[in-house]
Amino acid sequence: MKKTRIVLSFPPSNVEEPITYRLIKDYDLVVNILRASIDPGKQGRMVVELSGEESQIALAFNYLEKLGVSIEPLSQEIQHLEKRCTGCTACVPICPTGALDVDRKSWKVSYDPEKCVVCLSCLDVCIYKAVEVNLA
Amino acid sequence: MVRTIDEINDKIRSGSVVVVTAEEIIGLAREKGVKKAAREVDVVTTGTFSPMCSSGAFLNIKQPKEKMKLGGGWITLNGVPAYAGLAAADVYIGATAIPDGDPRNNNGRPGKFRYGGAHVIEDLVSGKKVVLNAGAYGTDCYPRKSREQKIGLKDMNEALLFNPRNCYQNYNVAVNLSEKPIYTYMGLLKPKLGNANYCSAGQLSPLLNDPFYRTIGVGSRIFLSGAQGYVAWNGTQHNPEIPRSENGTPRKAAGTLALIGNLREMDPQWIKAVSYTGYGVSLSLAVGVPIPIIDEDMMKFVSVSDEELFAPVVDYSRFYPTGEGEALLGEVTYAQLKSGAIEVKGKRIPTGCFSSYSKAREVAGQLKSLIQSGEFLLSQPVAQLPGAKEGLL
């Protein structure tokens, strides 16, 4: 089993191709869409996490490339700087996926990169600059 | 009267003082009862760590050989303007000051406000030097007209944090009823009641544990960002005339404190500059106030819990800025706020806070240790705050 986070950009002509369906059905992959921006007639962009057999992921990449879909590794990553974090919880209601969360006994804020969809909302609300966006 | 400040200080000196935090006392008072708890506990420590905008520092900068009168001239520290309308060498740097037209604060709306007066203060406390730029008109006794120099706390005769308004006794819960996101000093408020932000340590907050200012007054010694500071006066906008719960606590923002302390004695971990996107710069400070248990009533006051403390929910899209629209959207307890969600107008909305409860706990804990180890003695206030009920004075 392999897990990979990638950014797919596809030309307007392919926006109507059911890519997610094919990845699941033909390549037996678990597809977790982290972010997507798909408008008819425009270039589409999708941030996905793929899990499955390494060989199947390779075959899926071939399929995507044949369609003209460009594949890039997810190049941004949020970093939670625990030293700067005061545990104030201003980020907690803003984080849409619960990646930034607080333990309501210790009142320490924690960050789970597995849940993060790199929406960058936290950057604007952390007054202590305890979250940074890094190139992965 | 159970005990006096002098008696408490004798116990601190002899190492027999009993101190607990305002969080620990809640369970203890419930378990033992107020009477017994009042007999056994001498001091209860409170704590808060939160942005406190009305803060700043008086700096007296050592003169160069050829003297200069800053008074009536101008001065910037790392590009941030300070107030120079005092004598020759005294300036005041306010926490919220920002450089004129500084691109660091001007990268499109909403601004990021990456550097301001609070950052200058944090840099100085952290031992860093800042660039002083100053201009003056020059006089016979102070001929120098300009000065550019890197200075740190060592280049000053005095450096005092002096904050006209800190430690608000209770505060609004901010929400946004409008259709668009707004950037406020209570953070980003998402449209249509998308989130609710509050800012108080609740049951650990200093003035919520002495609601009628019976023990906290002018001259009270406090923990101020690692130093031993003092309550200098009531804070500006101090307003004791606020509707109160049966337990005496105000149901909206009420009392405030003006605080003073030696910047040189402060600990950089407890003095942090903050940048509010779309709003500005502020300074987070740690304040811990010891509450002497002078009688059973005081034990009743300090054993108040988040379930019994109420805060008003206020719309920051309309009512707060313009005074129009619905004044009060409801009242919630700090226990509800701390649960992670409250209900307003039938909608469940997630809560966030700007006051750090984990740091408030640490502050109350540090103050407790300082008292237990004999390093921190309580002081007898010399005057009461407006609205104070009979207490130490």
For A72-126, the pLDDT digits (tens) are 887 678 899 999 999 999 999 999 999 999 999 999 999 998 888 888 899 989 9
CATH of domain A2-73: 3.30.70.260
Q: Does A77-135 carry CATH code 3.30.70.20? A: yes
Secondary structure class of B85 (helix, strand, coil): coil
What percentage of residues in chain A have a pLDDT greater than 70? Answer: 96
| CATH topology identical between A2-73 and A77-135 | yes
Return the residue in B126, B272, B344, B357 with the most chain A beta carbons within 10 A, the one to mutate for interface testing. Answer: B357
In what side-by-side order are the strands of the sheet with A44-52?
A30-37, A44-52, A2-10, A70-73
Q: How far is CA B336 from the centre of its chain?
A: 23
Mean pLDDT (whole number) for B45-64: 98
Residues of B in contact with A94 (CB under 8 A): 188, 190, 195, 352
* Chain B interface includes A119 (CB < 8 A): no
Confidence at residue A1, expressed as pLDDT on a 0 to 100 scale: 84
Confidence at residue B106, expressed as pLDDT on a 0 to 100 scale: 56
Characterize the bridge pairing of strands B310-315 and B173-175.
Answer: parallel
Tell me phi and psi for residue A18, to 5 degrees: -75, 70
More confident residue, B93 or A17: B93
Residue B141 annotated in active site: yes
Structure tokens at B102: 């500084």
C-alpha dist (Å) from residue B361 to A130, B23, B128, B175: 20, 8, 29, 26
- Any idea where the domains of chain A sit in the sequence? 2-73, 77-135
Task: Label residue B107 by pLDDT band (50, 70, 90).
Answer: low
Residues 50-109 of B with CB under 8 A from A: 50-51
* Rounded Cα distance, B86 and A63, in Å: 74
Please list, in sequence order, all residues whose beta carbon lies within 8 angstroms of the beta carbon of residue B76, skipping any fewer than 6 positions away. B82, B99, B132, B133, B134
Nearest CA in chain A to B188: A125
Where b means 16+ CB within 10 Å and e means fewer, A74-96 reads beeebebeeeebbbbbbbbbbbe
Rounded to the nearest angstrom, the minimum Cα separation between A92 and chain B is: 6
Structure tokens at B118: 């609070």
Task: Note whether B282 contacts A104, CB cutoff 8 Å.
Answer: no
Average pLDDT score over chain A: 88
pLDDT digit string, tens, across residues B179-207: 999 999 999 999 999 999 999 999 999 99
Task: Note whether B272 contacts A86, CB cutoff 8 Å.
Answer: yes
> Choosing from B141, B167, B199, B353, which is the catalytic residue?
B141
Confidence at residue A38, expressed as pLDDT on a 0 to 100 scale: 76
pLDDT of residue B103 exceeding 60, the answer is yes
pLDDT of residue B116 exceeding 80, the answer is yes
Residue among A94, A108, A127 minimizing CB distance to B358: A108
* Interface confidence (ipTM) of the complex: 0.93
Nearest CA in chain A to B199: A88
* Rounded Cα distance, B68 and B134, in Å: 9
Return the closest-CA partner of residue B286 out of B217, B194, B355.
B355
Average pLDDT score over chain B: 96
